[in-house]
Amino acid sequence: MKEKLLKLYRYTYNTQPIVQSNQKMFWIGFFLGIFGIHRLIMGYKWWWMMFLTMGGIGVWSLLDIWRLYTRELPMADGTPLS
């Protein structure tokens, strides 16, 4: 039972995402940043906050785009983007 719950949790919250390329995440963040799609793909659990607030009215989106451009934004588990 515990294993099924853990598997469901990992499926729901994407706790083991595939390491993405920095360039790909930059362009997804550039075009869909206000919806937080780049954070969803990178495995962040609170990505929906960006969706609800439209990227913090653009501020969080711009910060994420800058952090992706300078290669400072890692995956949710701390793994650097490839």
Q: What is the pTM of this model?
A: 0.74
* pLDDT tens-digit profile, the chain (82 residues): 656 655 555 555 555 678 889 999 999 999 998 998 998 898 888 888 888 898 888 899 999 999 999 999 888 888 888 8
8 Å CB contact between 3 and 65: no
Q: First CA to last CA across the chain, in angstroms?
A: 36
